[in-house]
Amino acid sequence: MSADAFNPPSRLLMGPGPINADPRVLRAMSAPLIGQFDPAMTACMNDTQALYRRVFETANEATLLIDGTSRAGIEAVLVSLIEPGDRVLVPSFGRFGQLLREIAERAGGEVHVIEAEWGEVFTPERIEAAIREVRPKLLALVQGDTSTTMCQPLADIGAICRAHDVLFYSDATASLAGNPLPVDEWQLDAVTAGLQKCLAGPSGSAPTTLSKRAVDCIRGRAHVEAGLQGATHAAGGGSRIRSNYFDLAMILDYWGEARLNHHTEATSMLYAARECARLLVEEGMPQAVARHALHGRALVEGVRALGLQPFGDQRHRMHNVVGVYIPEGVDGEALRRTLLEDYAIEIGTSFGPLHGRIWRIGTMGYNARRDTVMTTLAALEQTLHQAGVRPVAGSGVGAAREVYADQQDRTGES
Amino acid sequence: MSADAFNPPSRLLMGPGPINADPRVLRAMSAPLIGQFDPAMTACMNDTQALYRRVFETANEATLLIDGTSRAGIEAVLVSLIEPGDRVLVPSFGRFGQLLREIAERAGGEVHVIEAEWGEVFTPERIEAAIREVRPKLLALVQGDTSTTMCQPLADIGAICRAHDVLFYSDATASLAGNPLPVDEWQLDAVTAGLQKCLAGPSGSAPTTLSKRAVDCIRGRAHVEAGLQGATHAAGGGSRIRSNYFDLAMILDYWGEARLNHHTEATSMLYAARECARLLVEEGMPQAVARHALHGRALVEGVRALGLQPFGDQRHRMHNVVGVYIPEGVDGEALRRTLLEDYAIEIGTSFGPLHGRIWRIGTMGYNARRDTVMTTLAALEQTLHQAGVRPVAGSGVGAAREVYADQQDRTGES
């Protein structure tokens, strides 16, 4: 056992997340702690909620953080919305769709899954047809599934859900801030995210927003915690939420005016989440999305020029991560090790049906930058060469430079 | 909405937790992130497990962190050990006993509660009698309940549980490192904690240890996540754990040699947890407990000398927090506000039957120090005076100084 201080090695994290956190976020976490109900603390929580309303492009009062990783946010929404026996529709186009199914099942839902091939997405028509057939209470749909790099179009789904009186939840962990997600305009009822992708922070806090419809559903299951009021009873008539930690009715009362004690806020992660949102609000959400689109395009053109093929339906790729077929005869894991050992660059492996077939390379959050894209393409060229593939020298970075030059011509910016 | 950087005000947090984090822990959190399966990351996780074995005084292989607040650790253990219909015995002597009951009920347990008056604890005989009557699968028992400041003796409970083939879980969030808890010697099967009390860190990570008996129980409910293996089935014959996020069977495979992907580790909180354990291992666990005992004693003698009465059975008070009756005629909340506004010192209010009757003053973690105790007593004297109580000038700090002088005489240390 080493009891030395931990000094992490230098790494450029160009996988599907986590990525290098913005140094401003790391610094924010070293601010001193304050008490849970200190006026400065509740003001900080209120500010953070307001900042996330801008990140989610919503007026939802119920916008808050779940203290846990992005998966904690997913489970909080699903276990709070789903009563045992409720029908849930999960259109799944990758591993994180399967995760929604799994969590919804554990919450007691009667889960109906429709599947798209990995590398494809759903049409609104196919989702509406499934809604007509299943008549679910809840539609649970990933926006960006890093396992396939696909981004499900959501713009038309909210209206379909409203027409059929279905609650609409999306897991935007991997996509938020890298791809458009105007929550109110697209009529979503619940969205959860994490900090470790396009938000440029560490994993461990799950920004979450809930519409009034979602809040009404959750409030109908409100339950007063024993010890706080001396009584144990369901106040709203709905069945008791199966989790205490993820009971959004209680968490709403903790973040809301009632300020009822629930968990002890993970203050350092709150500081991190606040700074992540501040960075995005300073930049502007459309600008952040455009930045991810630009660097994602540069990366894709670079890997194509190196002779590699991107995976999946490119019309629906997330801006912030690209799947790349591993060339025939190349040991994908060996090349990843070389990239890590020789260049300190991490790119991603893959899960399930894509395991051993594609790498996943991300350009997100703090790492959606020109220098990270250029460096990754340069190192990739060298490691491919070493692995026996013969890309044209300078082709990858050349193609990326063209994307940047083209952008500069069009916008007059560098 | 303020979008300025958050600059928390200076605070001395002398309540029942959270407390000021050790600056070393805050600095540890600003270390750069690395990838989840980077060899440096898995080595860091392994080191952290080894460090927590020393904090828990256990050889348990299954010693790890749950990504969430201390309440997340509680729920992970209870939902993973309790199958719906399992009998659970909860001896409750305060609010956090009620919380164990609440979480165990939501996990589907048939929960039997025995209660002690707030301010008292249970004898082993009473617990054994209840075990004989209820014949539970699991005994869930808080060690230190901050709501009452009491510390339940656990030394004899493990043997009783073994004799009756009962699993023994304790929530040591508030007590670990401030009071003895040799997990193996006392034969506990599961213990969870948090960082924000005697561990001198921020809330947001829950150190957890599980005996082989607990692991066997959990492994019997192991379930492979859809998307990782393409199949959904319970491998062990037990009923599926109701939570994905808190499924300890999966979390064990994430921390263990299998390294199966589960959540994305909250890396900054891992760094914090590692540094908290490192501080304690450097100091030594008996030394850390003795430090809390010393400063707790100085605080109690100080408040007594100010004419205040400590709450509850003082033979069983936690070293790290004392309840103090609010003197007749004093507005407890107004005095707390004055302490905060004039001295930037936070002390705690109370819950439930003690609300408005006692304050709770903590000396824990980084704040278990002579200067914090002396400063708090000095400020308390002034604010009591202002509130119309007339303590003897200098009496509080004088009594504390005597405790320190006495300790110095006995040990030759300062």
Strand partners, B414: none
- Determine the pLDDT at residue B224: 66
Residue B144: which H helix or E strand, with range?
strand B144-145
8 Å CB contact of A106 and B242: yes
User: What is the predicted pLDDT for the residue at B233?
Assistant: 45
β-pairing, B321-325 vs B358-362, is antiparallel
Q: Smallest Cα–Cα separation from B18: which of A26, A227, A37?
A: A37
Q: Which residues in chain A are contacts of B262 at CB distance < 8 A?
A: 71
Our CA dihedral for A392, A393, A395, A397, rounded to 10 degrees, sits at 160
Q: Is A98 on the interface with B (CB under 8 A)?
A: yes
**The predicted structure's pLDDT at residue B3:** 75
Per residue in B264-298, is it b (16+ CB within 10 Å) or e — as a string?
A: bbbbbbbbbbbbbbbbbbeeebeebbbbbbbbbbb
Non-local CB neighbours of B371 within 8 Å, separated by 6+ positions = none
Alpha-carbon distance of A48 to B1, in angstroms, equals 9
Q: Of the candidates A3, A35, A202, which has its C-beta nearest B268's C-beta?
A: A202
Chain A residue with minimal CA distance to B262?
Answer: A71
Give the nearest chain B residue to A355 (CA atoms). Answer: B228
The first and second tokens of residue B241, run together, are 């754990």
Of A197, A176, A13, A337, the closest CA to residue B32 belongs to: A13
Decide if pLDDT at B99 tops 90.
yes
DSSP at B72:
H
B20 touches chain A (CB under 8 A): yes
The pLDDT score that the predictor gives to residue A3 is 74
pLDDT (tens digit, 9 = 90+) per residue, B13-60? 999 999 999 999 999 999 999 999 999 999 999 999 999 999 999 999
Cα B412 vs. chain centroid, distance in angstroms?
31
Spatial contact of B406 and B399, defined as CB atoms under 8 Å apart: no
Residue-wise pLDDT tens digits, A362-371: 999 999 999 9
Q: Which pLDDT band holds residue B67 (cuts at 50, 70, 90)?
A: very high
Q: Confirm if A3 and B52 have CB atoms less than 8 A apart.
A: no
Structural contact between residues A120 and A151, judged by C-beta atoms closer than 8 angstroms: no
Q: What is the pLDDT of residue B408?
A: 87
Q: Do B68 and A266 touch (CB under 8 A)?
A: yes
Return residues 326-365 of B near A (CB < 8 Å): 340, 346, 351-352
* Chain B touched by A290 (CB under 8 Å): no
- B268 closest CB neighbour out of A10, A29, A44: A29
pLDDT digits 0-9 by tens, B250-295: 999 999 999 998 999 999 999 999 999 999 999 999 999 999 999 9
Judge whether residue A232 has pLDDT over 50.
no
**Nearest residue in A to B241, CA atom:** A106
Taking an 8 Å cut-off on Cβ atoms, the answer to whether A40 and B9 are in contact is: yes
Give the minimum alpha-carbon distance from B26 to chain A in angstroms, rounded to a whole number. Answer: 5
Residue B52 CB partners (closer than 8 Å, separation 6+) = B63, B64, B65, B207, B209, B273, B277
The answer to whether the CB of A307 falls within 8 A of the CB of A327 is yes
Structure confidence at residue B2 (pLDDT): 52
CB contact under 8 A, B351 and A227: yes
The pLDDT of residue A5 is above 70: yes
pLDDT confidence of residue A233: 45
Q: Is B101 annotated as a binding residue?
A: no
**Residue-wise pLDDT tens digits, A123-172:** 999 999 999 999 999 999 999 999 999 999 999 999 999 999 999 999 99
Strand partners, A210: A62, A190
- Judged against a pLDDT cut of 80, whether residue B234 lies above it is answered with no
Percent of chain A with pLDDT over 70: 95
H/E stretch holding B138: strand B138-142
A194 has a chain B CB within 8 A of its CB: yes
Is the CB of residue B63 less than 8 Å from the CB of residue B188?
Answer: no
Lowest mean pLDDT, pick from A216-225, A368-377, B327-336: A216-225
pLDDT digits (tens, 9 = 90+) for A186-204: 999 999 999 999 999 999 9
Please report the sign of the dihedral spanned by the C-alpha atoms of residue A379, residue A380, residue A384, residue A387: positive
- Give pLDDT tens digits for A11-32: 999 999 999 999 999 999 999 9
* Measured distance CA(B237)–CA(B233) in Å, rounded: 9
Q: Give the pTM.
A: 0.96
Domains and CATH numbers, chain B: 22-281 (3.40.640.10), 285-411 (3.90.1150.10)
- In the block, residue with structure tokens 């213990």: B191
3-state secondary structure of B83: coil
Strands lying side by side in the sheet with A206-210 = A62-66, A206-210, A190-192, A167-171, A138-142, A87-92, A110-115
In this prediction, residues A210-237 reach a mean pLDDT of 73
Position A228 scores a pLDDT of 56
Min Cα separation B409/chain A (Å) = 33
CA distances from B199 to A40, B61, B86, B107, B288 (A): 24, 21, 33, 28, 10
**pLDDT tens digits, B141-167:** 999 999 999 999 999 999 999 999 999
Question: Is the Cβ of B27 closer than 8 Å to some Cβ of chain A?
Answer: yes
Query: Comparing C-alpha atoms, which of B67, B246, B194 is closest to residue A264?
Result: B194
Q: Are strands B62-66 and B110-115 parallel, antiparallel or unpaired?
A: unpaired
Q: How many CB atoms lie within 10 A of CB B104?
A: 29
- What mean pLDDT is predicted for residues B216-236? 67
ipTM over 0.90: yes
Of A374, A368, A294, A361, give the one whose Cα is nearest residue A325: A361
The Cα B142–Cα B331 span in angstroms is: 31
pLDDT at residue B225 above 90? Answer: no
- Token couple for B278: 């490192």
- Residues contacting B178, CB < 8 A, separation 6+: B144, B197, B198, B288, B289, B292, B296, B318, B319, B320, B364, B365, B368
Q: What is the model's pLDDT at position B238? A: 80
Task: Report the distance separating Cα A323 and Cα A150, nearest Å.
Answer: 9
B115 interface with A at CB cutoff 8 Å: no
Min Cα–Cα distance to chain A from B67, Å: 6
Give the tens place of pLDDT for each residue, A46-91.
999 999 999 999 999 999 999 999 999 999 999 999 999 999 999 9
Residue A161 φ then ψ, to 5°: -65, -45
Name the residue among A18, A98, A99 with its Cβ closest to that of B36.
A18
A305: amino acid identity, one letter: A
Residue with tokens 């082993």, as numbered in its chain: B124
Cβ–Cβ gap A230/B346 under 8 Å: no
pLDDT tens per residue across span A315-347: 999 999 999 999 999 999 999 999 999 999 999
The predicted pLDDT at position A114 comes to 98
pLDDT of B231 higher than 50: no
Instruction: State the nearest Cα–Cα gap between B72 and chain A, in angstroms.
Output: 6
The nearest CA of chain B is from the CA of A189 a distance in Å of: 22
Q: Are A184 and A191 in contact (CB under 8 A)?
A: no
